[in-house]
Structures are given as structure tokens and as C-alpha cells.
Amino acid sequence: MQIKAEHIVPCIQPYYKTPLLVHEGHMQWLFDHTGRRFLDMFSGIVTISVGHCHPKVNAAAMEQMKSLWHTTNIYMHPKMYEYAEKLTDKLPGDLKVVYIVNSGSEANDLAMLLSRVYTKNFDIISFRNAYHGASPYSMGVTALSKWKYHVPSNMGVHHAMNPDVYKGIWGGSKCRDSPVQADRTCSCAGECSASRHYYKQLQEVFKYSLPRGHVAALIAESIQGIGGVVQFPKGFLKMAYELVRTNGGLCVADEVQTGFGRTGDHFWGFEMHGVVPDIVTMAKGIGNGFPLAAVVTTPKIAAALGTALHFNTFGGNPVACAVGLATLQAIEEEKLQANSKKVGTHLLMELEKLREEFPCVGDVRGKGLMIGVELVADKESKEPLAAKQFADVWEDCKDMGVLIGRGGTHGNVSIPISNTLLTNRASICPEMLPVRYSGCLFQ
């Protein structure tokens, strides 16, 4: 703590009153300096997709390290091509060209640059409550004020209303009153009224805020993650894509949290909305904890950059590509997408029982192993649980041996505590769960 105080920037604040000193991680477990074991349900902010120090991913990294660590992308090396082929194989349609980078923020920056160069337009639309990164451009489209500081690049960014069927001003209760089901996005039969209202608001952005014919792109998460696991109502994203395209813009899917099978039913989150984006960005789970991210697009859009030397020293690093390949293989071989659906659905059902039982559990939502529990002071008004009480819940979980995350907009702004718990796709093998949890959540 003394070294931290003297040498680490103060904005880096570890979670918990007594910060966790992590020494080891094995699959879904983290171990502190005393050897105490924790079930890691936050997975380094939704990143450990196949397990800490997964043996096959470790072996692939070590094997690659023996022969080549780094080249930059001015030379060729086989791992990058092998990975590019395998990765783009997972994407539909013409999404076949990849630019490998190192983080979600970099990926989103490049996606916006590509959109602007390709369309020759400048303006970008994102949704309120979105998180897209912390680099200047990605922070510009992020729409959560606690994550924005001195943004130099908000120019040309328009934030449309995010369709939040639990708390949003156009609700609506119809979308939430159904009993818990595998697909929780919306239970409206046919066209969803919430979708229609939020779509009208998006049209207003075009009418009043955007200079005519200037839209370069819409960037959207398939489920808003850091914003508190907010699911869009049925049909909304599809209508939004059509509107943007009609006006000459591209559609960018930020799959940093929702990609790689995390939502269970599909490999990519955008598939649940029945859309095919023009550009897809991915990070976090793609590298199972290794700095790896990517932008995938069509050959036509990629060609817009021409031969401009858009350079990235570490992009396509051989070790990162070896890790990416092994992670993808583990997801497939161990059927982790199906696991995400199975365990996630069970978890949702059990959490739903808590919602019925406890006045402070306002909403339980999500898909697969992307799940949020919104804690409220009052179920009727949906007023968020006080930050202090939320912190107690969260600390108690840790004391009981379970690490969960936090997100959402309703915490204290300067101390980012909120009222939403995020759980993650720690690759859960029921037989490895400690008895007290197997009796509790994952029977």
C-alpha cells in the first residue's frame, strides 16, 4: 500500500475496503496472498473467458514464446494469418478482413476512423449509458459521465436515448412483467411499443441534431455492459441500423463484452438482434486476459484506408495471436457457449426468485452469463439502493468468497459505486464449485 501511494497514479483504486492482493488464478478461481480461494464471477472485468491460466492457452503462449515474441506488422508471421482466418470464420457475410490491435478502446477508435474515411462523413451516434473506451475518440462516444473527463473529441458525437425497458422514460412495464425466460430482451408479441418510442427519439436526433447527410456511423453494444447490463427491446437495433444506413452511415457493433459466446444463444451479441454490422469490434474475452483486440470489417470498407500506414506496433503480436487462437479453440472444444446458456439461464431463474422475495432486488436481467441484478431502495419508484448499502452487499459477497462487479449509472459519480452487480462467464464446471455455492446458485 505504501508503494502504491508513492508510485501509482491515485486514479487507480482497487476494489474493496481491504484490497484483494491476488497471487494466483486457476480457471474460475482466484487466490489471495494467504491462499484463500475466491470464485471469480467478474473475471477481470468480463475478460477471462475460458479460465485463469487455462492449461491449453498457457501452453500455446509458452510454445510461441520459445520461437518469436514480436515483429510489428511490417513483417509477416504465420500466427497472425492463422488467427485472422480462424477469427473471421466466426463472422457472417462479408465481414472477413481484420485489423488486430491491443484493447477495446483502440478497436473502437479504429472503427470510427474507418467509418469516417469510408463514408467521408464525420458524425457518430452512440447511445446514452454506453461504454466504448477511455481513449480520446472512444471516450467521446462513451455516454456515462463518470467515465468522461476533459474529452477533447466529443465533436460530432450525438448521444441518442438508450432504450432501457426497466428504467427508461418510455419503459415499459409490458416488457418486464413476463416471468423469467431464456430470452429476456422483451416479451411483447409482435412489434414492441418501447422499441417504437425509442426509435422515434433516434429519428429526432437525425431531425434536430445531426447535420443533414453527415452520419458516419452508429456505434452500439449489443447489451450495454458497464452501463448496467441494459438490454434493448425487441426490434429496436434492427430499426436503428436501417435508419442509419438509409442516411448513409455505417453500423458498428461493439462486441467487447457480448462477443465470444458470452450471451449463450449466439457467438456474437448482434445476432440476437437479427442484424449484420458493417464493422465489429472485439476485445476482453478474445484474449482471455492477454492484451488482444480486433476490428473486423468488409474488404470494401477496409479498402477505404488504402495504403495509409495506420500503424500499431504491437497489433498482431505473435504471442497475442497464439493466445487468441487457443482461446477460440477452448471455447469451441469445451462448448463454453452452450455452458454460458445453460449456467446463465439457471442463474437467471434462481436470481429471479430473489427478485420475487426481496424488496431490494428491483430487476434481474441479462442473457447467458452476462447478468445484472439491479438493487433498489424502492421497487415502485426504482430509486437506486444507496451506494453505501450496495457496497455492503458487494463486500459481503467477497467475504463469502465470491467476486462480482458493479456497473450502472446510479451510484455516486466520483466514487464509481453503482446499484448493479455484474456476473461473468467464469467457465463454471459444477463439480469444481465449493459445496456452499453448489447448494446456492448452481444446484
Residue 226 makes contact with ligand PMP by CB under 6 A: yes
- As measured in angstroms, the least distance from the Cβ of 333 to ligand PMP is 26
- CA atoms of 125 and 123, how far apart (whole Å): 7
Residue 283 makes contact with ligand PMP by CB under 6 A: yes
337: which residues sit within 8 A by CB, 6+ positions away? 261, 264, 266, 267, 331, 368
- As measured in angstroms, the least distance from the Cβ of 259 to ligand PMP is 10
Cβ atoms of 40 and 422 within 8 Å: the answer is no
Which 3 state secondary structure label does DSSP give 31?
Answer: strand
Site for ligand PMP in 148-207 (CB under 6 A): none
Beta-carbon neighbour count of residue 400 at 10 Å?
Answer: 12
- CA atoms of 339 and 334, how far apart (whole Å): 8
Contacting residue, 164, 254, 278, 374, with ligand PMP by CB under 6 A: 254
Q: Which stretch binds ligand PMP (CB under 6 A): 171-179, 254-262, 358-366, 412-420?
A: 254-262
Q: Which stretch binds ligand PMP (CB under 6 A): 19-27, 100-108, 325-333, 357-365?
A: 100-108
Q: Pairing state of beta strands 157-160 and 123-127? A: parallel
Q: Which of 137/394 has CB closer to ligand PMP?
A: 137
Residue 103 makes contact with ligand PMP by CB under 6 A: yes
485489423: which residue's cell? Answer: 99
Helix, strand, coil tally for the chain in percent (to 5): 35, 20, 45
- As measured in angstroms, the least distance from the Cβ of 71 to ligand PMP is 23
Q: Which of 52/132 has CB closer to ligand PMP?
A: 132
- As measured in angstroms, the least distance from the Cβ of 261 to ligand PMP is 16
**DSSP structural state of residue 205:** I
Q: Please give the size of the binding site for ligand PMP, defined by CB under 6 A.
A: 15
Q: Which of 39/283 has CB closer to ligand PMP?
A: 283
Contacting residue, 28, 43, 64, 105, with ligand PMP by CB under 6 A: 105
- CA atoms of 43 and 49, how far apart (whole Å): 8
Q: Which of 225/366 has CB closer to ligand PMP?
A: 225
**DSSP structural state of residue 251:** E
Please give the sequence-ordered ranges of beta strands (E in DSSP) within 73-183, or none if there are none.
97-101, 123-127, 157-160
- As measured in angstroms, the least distance from the Cβ of 150 to ligand PMP is 18
**Cα–Cα distances in angstroms (integers) from residue 228 to residues 47, 103, 364, 413, in the given order:** 16, 21, 11, 14
- As measured in angstroms, the least distance from the Cβ of 411 to ligand PMP is 16
- Nearest residue to ligand PMP on Cβ basis: 104
Phi, psi of 3 (to 5 degrees): -60, -40
Q: Which of 226/441 has CB closer to ligand PMP?
A: 226
Site for ligand PMP in 119-138 (CB under 6 A): 131-133
Q: Is the previous residue joined to 25 through a cis bond, with omega within 30 degrees of 0?
A: no
Residue 225 makes contact with ligand PMP by CB under 6 A: yes
- CA atoms of 250 and 243, how far apart (whole Å): 10
- As measured in angstroms, the least distance from the Cβ of 202 to ligand PMP is 20
CA proximity to 245, closest of 294, 270, 200, 278: 278
Q: Which stretch binds ligand PMP (CB under 6 A): 101-109, 121-129, 178-186, 344-352?
A: 101-109
- CA atoms of 113 and 111, how far apart (whole Å): 5
- As measured in angstroms, the least distance from the Cβ of 99 to ligand PMP is 15
Q: Which of 287/384 has CB closer to ligand PMP?
A: 287
User: Which residues lie near ligand PMP (CB under 6 A)?
Assistant: 45, 103-105, 108, 131-133, 221, 225-226, 254, 256-257, 283
